[in-house]
A = this chain, B = another copy of it.
């Protein structure tokens, strides 16, 4: 049995690489997908494909159409979703991805520092498991295969 795990959440540090390496060192039969991690490319993909837009709002709308195409296809193909929230950003789209996963009946592992427990409390309660770091998320993932 192999599982596909979508890594939702912030794209401002390299946490996804760490998750992939940890999974590899545990020899888990897991493949990972996730959003475009190049932040500029993610913001510009709308104009790159559809051409220049009238203003920044239209530019954002164009980019989000392409990014959501990507998310929809990959979320549909995933067995588990891990979503990581950090302290610096608004990350509403991360919250939306996490909630979309829950609503699609994909089990969600939420990763957030303890300090963020209050603003994330309802989302945390919808997750299957909430942990504080990616090591714990990997332990939970690993437990499925034992």
Chain A interfacial positions (CB closer than 8 Å to B): 1, 3-4, 31, 33, 36, 41, 45, 48-50, 54-58, 60-61, 63-74, 76-77, 79-80, 85, 89-93, 95-100, 102-104, 107, 109, 114, 117-126, 128-129, 131, 136, 139-140, 143-144, 146
Contacts and interface: CB of A to CB of B under 8 A. Distances in A.
A41 to B, nearest CB: 8
Contacts of A76: 79
A120 B92 contact: yes
A30 to B, nearest CB: 11
Contacts of A56: 117-118
Contacts of A36: 143, 146
Closest 10 CB pairs of A and B: A103-B103, A99-B99, A95-B95, A54-B54, A64-B125, A96-B99, A60-B121, A93-B122, A64-B121, A90-B119
A70 B143 contact: yes
Contacts of A92: 85, 91-92, 95, 119-120, 123
Given A60-B117, A90-B90, A121-B63, A96 B140 contact: no
